Amino acid sequence: MEIKNLTIKEARKLLDTKQISAKELAKSCLENIEKRNKELNVFLEVYDDVLEQAEEAQKIIDSGNSKELTGIPLAIKDNILIKGKKASASSKILQNYTATYDATVIEKLKEEGVIFLGRVNMDEFAMGGSTENSAFEVTKNPYDTSRVAGGSSGGSAAAVVAEMALGALGSDTGGSVREPASFCGVVGLKPTYGSVSRFGLMAMGSSLDVIGPITKTVSDAEIIFNVIKGKDKMDSTSTEIENCKLKIENFKIGVPYHILEQEGISKDVRDNFNESINKLKDLGFEIKDIKLKNIDKSLAVYYIIMPAEVSSNMARYDGVKYGLRKEGNDLLEVYKKTRGEGFGAEVRRRIILGTYVLSSGYYDSYYGKAMAARKIIRAEFDSAFEQVDAVLTPTAPFPAWKIGEKKSPLENYLADIFTVTANIVGCPAISLPSGFVKIDGKDLPLGIQLMSSHSNENILFEIGKKFLNE
Amino acid sequence: MISKEEIKKLADLARIEISDEEVESLRGEMDAILEYVGQISRIPSPEQGEGDTIVRGEVNVLREDTNPTESGTYSKELIANFPNKEKNYLKVKKILG
């Protein structure tokens, strides 16, 4: 069975009409993993019960009770808990940690009869944009193995484009679903904050984190989103989403052209972005030039709020009840050794940075100021969404970079310039593949990002499907 | 520039052991990051007060403190994750002198 370009939607038909069995489908994914995982480093672990899971799914299909995702093989980011399976967040500190419960999203996928293939690589605790911060080596881009697959959900995006899974779950704190989706030429959805339960997702920035799907098509992302969304009593910030803008005709798309004038955006990205705008115009969408006065400060706001939240969320990894423990002469030394050796350099850096911006002398000028700015940016988006139905930007300022190319932390952070805003505002955003650029004889994917107002994922799906001709 | 002592103090507060080399490299990296994020000072401060929440309709969500999980329900899995134990007890460094 060749699964090249097979979507979840098509697989559903093939499974339900018995043209393929759940086992055959799972086996073809396993074969592709076998063929390319050594080279690409996508899966940290492939579960040994995949075929048993497929048999269970087949029983549901045979009984005529299959649901949208019954028998669909998915890859799961290594920071989402599946009971009884290891979950390390690509960190040495949790290298041998076994999840003691199911994340709510996993529970929902289990009810559907999904096949969990295994856990995929990421930047340690989701901190990074390239998986170069993984404690278990970088995931390579299937389009050019000398380049990164993006991150932090780089394993999730690479698994989908390398045909190792039909879809994947990632998590997005500042672009961690959208940026790798863009680098790998697939679709990545960051849902509205709170629309998907965070219970069982390892916390990074709790006011920013959300779980989202990575898939080949917009329709597939919509299918997974509809399964995993919903209010959950285990996550008090979760909400039921209500589309307030249904059936709008003549969608207006706003483009904040002014943000493209800043430095550091590659010419290839600008050209591709302009082509994408023309394509959207040809499809009948009205394009409107909009101003978002403080959007260029989003990245600065993000790199204060996020490390602040990181520094408190990471406090739980202390070597006492679970995870790595390094022994010392007293308890304080146990803490310091465990955290010093267990966390990688980027995690240590962000904890220390967060400790700084929250410390009493600097709180007002950094964290306090950032929270006030967050409110302003949020208000600017609210008024933008009164004029337009969606806001369009590139997903990332450049295509996938060469492994090891970016030297300083700040250089890495600048990759998030277009994506962090949606997390600061809490609104939904999607990255759509928008073509390729040829560099060093290799085709590298590019992506565009659409944002819409809270709970209006349906607008993103509708525009996205037209853009990708689904 | 942020001082060595300041970095060491922050690492201590965060309970992270770092090497002298890392203290040195963090000084430069932190300075670059703080300079970049410092641009938020150019955003005028809004008046504080109503609607200071970030998440739409944000309210405290509480539950009744009832129906605790029955003792022992998750013990097996949790104990299995202990880094060091004796029988079913978590083993840690002596805390009291």
In order, the DSSP letters of A77-139 are ETTB--TTSB--TT-GGGTT-B-SS--HHHHHHHHHT-EEEEEE--SGGG--SSSTT-TT-PP
To test the contact with chain A by mutation, choose from B5, B8, B15, B59 the residue with the greatest count of A C-beta atoms within 10 A, namely B15
CA distance B17 to chain A (A): 5
Per-residue pLDDT at B44: 76
| Catalytic position from the list A21, A91, A130, A152 | A152
Token output for A289: 């030039």
CA distance B8 to chain A (A): 10
pLDDT in tens, chain A (470 residues): 667 899 999 999 999 999 999 999 999 999 999 999 999 999 999 999 999 999 999 999 999 999 999 999 999 999 999 999 999 999 999 999 999 999 999 999 999 999 999 999 999 999 999 999 999 999 999 999 999 999 999 999 999 999 999 999 999 999 999 999 999 999 999 999 999 999 999 999 999 999 999 999 999 999 999 999 999 999 999 999 876 655 667 789 999 999 998 889 999 999 999 999 999 999 999 999 999 999 999 999 999 999 999 999 999 999 999 999 999 999 999 999 999 999 999 999 999 999 999 998 899 899 999 999 999 999 999 999 999 999 999 999 999 999 999 999 999 999 999 999 999 999 999 999 999 999 999 999 999 999 999 999 999 999 999 999 99
In order, the DSSP letters of A170-186 are EEESSSTTHHHHHHHTS
Nearest by CB: A331 against B40, B41, B92 = B92
- Chain B residues with CB under 8 Å of A236 CB are 61
* C-beta contacts of A11-20 below 8 A and 24+ residues apart: A11/A71, A11/A72, A11/A166, A12/A66, A12/A68, A12/A72, A15/A61, A15/A66, A15/A70, A15/A71, A16/A61, A16/A66
Q: For residue A196, what is the DSSP state?
A: B
Query: Residue A165 and residue A149: Cα distance in Å, rounded?
Result: 16
Question: What is the residue extent of each domain of chain B?
Answer: 4-46
Residue B49 has pLDDT above 60, yes or no: no
CA distance B71 to chain A (A): 16
Cβ atoms < 10 Å from Cβ of A8: 23
Strand partners, A144: A141
CB contact under 8 A, A325 and B83: yes
Nearest by CB: B81 against A100, A327, A408 = A100
To test the contact with chain B by mutation, choose from A353, A371, A421 the residue with the greatest count of B C-beta atoms within 10 A, namely A353
CB contact under 8 A, B17 and A337: yes
Residue pointed to by tokens 């899974």: A165
Per-residue pLDDT at B94: 83
CA distance B70 to chain A (A): 16
In this structure, are residues A227 and A260 in contact, taking their beta carbons and an 8 Å threshold? no
Query: Residue A182 and residue A391: Cα distance in Å, rounded?
Result: 17
Per-residue pLDDT at B60: 80
In this structure, are residues A376 and A294 in contact, taking their beta carbons and an 8 Å threshold? yes
- Chain A residues with CB under 8 Å of B27 CB are none
In this structure, are residues A440 and A450 in contact, taking their beta carbons and an 8 Å threshold? no
| Catalytic position from the list A9, A23, A77, A86 | A77
The reply to whether CATH 3.90.1300.10 applies to domain A1-470 is: yes
The residues near A461 (Cβ < 8 Å, ≥ 6 apart) are A218, A219, A221, A222, A430
Chain B residues 28-57 with a CB less than 8 Å from chain A: 29-30, 32-34, 36-43, 45-46, 48, 51-52, 54-57
| Catalytic position from the list A176, A219, A311, A453 | A176
* B76-93 mean pLDDT: 94
Per-residue pLDDT at A46: 98
To test the contact with chain A by mutation, choose from B2, B8, B13, B17 the residue with the greatest count of A C-beta atoms within 10 A, namely B17
Residue pointed to by tokens 């944000």: B58
Query: Residue A319 and residue A8: Cα distance in Å, rounded?
Result: 41
Please write down the HEC assignment for all residues of A406-419.
CCCHHHHHHHHCCC
CA distance B20 to chain A (A): 13
Per-residue pLDDT at A245: 57
Half-sphere exposure of A73 (CA within 13 A, CB side): 33
- Chain A residues with CB under 8 Å of B41 CB are 365, 369
**Would you call A77 a catalytic residue per the annotation?**
yes
Per-residue pLDDT at A244: 61
To test the contact with chain A by mutation, choose from B4, B37, B60 the residue with the greatest count of A C-beta atoms within 10 A, namely B37
* B13-28 mean pLDDT: 97
How sure is the predictor about B42, in pLDDT bands with cuts at 50, 70 and 90? confident
* B37-62 mean pLDDT: 68
CB contact under 8 A, B40 and A325: no
Q: In this structure, is the dihedral angle defined by the CA atoms of residues A172, A175, A176 and A181, taken in order, positive or negative?
A: positive
Per-residue pLDDT at B50: 45
CB pairs under 8 A between A and B: 149
Query: Residue A299 and residue A136: Cα distance in Å, rounded?
Result: 28
B22–chain A Cβ distance below 8 A for any pair: yes
Please write down the HEC assignment for all residues of A441-458.
CEEEEEEEEEEECCCCHH
**Would you call A176 a catalytic residue per the annotation?**
yes
Nearest chain B alpha carbon to A455: B56
Token output for A305: 């709020």
Strand partners, A168: A75, A214
Residue B51 has pLDDT above 60, yes or no: no
CB contact under 8 A, A330 and B83: no
Per-residue pLDDT at A248: 63
Cβ atoms < 10 Å from Cβ of B72: 7
SS3 label, residue A379? helix
pTM (global) more than 0.90 = yes
Candidate CATH numbers 3.90.105, 1.10.20, 2.60.40, 3.40.50; the one for domain B4-46:
1.10.20
